[in-house]
Amino acid sequence: MSLSSNSPDSSLSRRRFLGTALAGTAATLVGAASTGFLVPEAALAQSPLTPDQALKELLDGNERYIAGRFTSFDEDKQILRDRTVEKQQPFAALLSCADSRVPIEIIFDQSIGEIFVTRVAGNVATPEIIASLEYGAAVLGTKVIMVLGHAGCGAVKAAIAGKEVPGQISALFPHLQPAVDQAGSDLAAATKANASLQAALLSKASTVLSPMIKEGKLKIVAGYYDLATGKVTLV
């Protein structure tokens, strides 16, 4: 006997299926942690885009943002929320600075469920950030990761100054110092260098992401966001 897609039994079956699938994915990740090797499991939904197409979609969205021709605002947000309650298929992931002037979904003209976003001051690849991006690529199926620096970055500026700071802010400095060593006191140059260095770190240091790049399943790039123009450029 077939069940209609709207019947209570059908809904229950779908929930059980999703629960089983997610449990299986979790078991795979836990098992991988104990062996040191991750075998990516297919996500419940994955983007059909190639890495190059995914990058183009991001940059095209940025062009729409600059021109004020948003398409994401035209989408029915209630439908998008409903569709993403039990699954997500982000086509791209971003490692961005936590700066409030860099609203990722807006500057790339994307909506609910389309970008997997990680944010931390200075857009640095800490272990927690790397773990999150590994999950996004291996489990959710993101095709491109962009590390996005931006004009006027306070974290990079503080690292260049090298002065005493309160609390744990200075914990960011060791991550940023290689870019400062490379670019010196030029803020824009150091910010771009940092984005490139963090992207290289993700590409080479992650045992999950590196093989995906070699197999053509993933692309990692660095970008720079100009606060004044809204333009994102690759660096």
Q: Give 143-197 pLDDT, tens digit per residue.
A: 999 999 999 999 999 999 999 999 999 999 999 999 999 999 999 999 999 999 9
Q: Give 48-65 pLDDT, tens digit per residue.
A: 999 999 999 999 999 999
CATH of domain 46-234: 3.40.1050.10
HEC states along 129-164?
HHHHHHHHHHHHCCCEEEEEEECCCHHHHHHHHCCC
HEC states along 16-45?
HHHHHHHHHHHHHHHHHHHHCCCCCCCCCC
Q: Where are the domains of the chain?
A: 1-39, 46-234
Q: Give 71-104 pLDDT, tens digit per residue.
A: 998 878 888 788 888 888 999 999 999 999 999 9
CA distance 162 to 146: 27
Take residue 102 and report the two structure tokens written for it. 């860099």
For the cut 60, the answer to whether the pLDDT of residue 1 exceeds it is: no
For the cut 90, the answer to whether the pLDDT of residue 128 exceeds it is: yes
* Average pLDDT score over the chain: 85
Express as a percent the part of the chain with pLDDT over 90: 72
For the cut 90, the answer to whether the pLDDT of residue 115 exceeds it is: yes
CA distance 13 to 149: 44
Q: Which residues on neighbouring strands pair with residue 147, listed in sequence order?
A: 95, 222
Which residue pairs, CB below 8 angstroms and at least 24 apart, start in 55-64?
Answer: 55/92, 55/144, 55/146, 55/219, 55/221, 57/91, 57/92, 58/92, 58/108, 58/110, 58/144, 58/146, 58/232, 59/232, 61/108, 61/109, 61/110, 62/107, 62/108, 62/109, 62/230, 62/231, 62/232, 64/109
**CB–CB of 159/205 below 8 Å?**
no
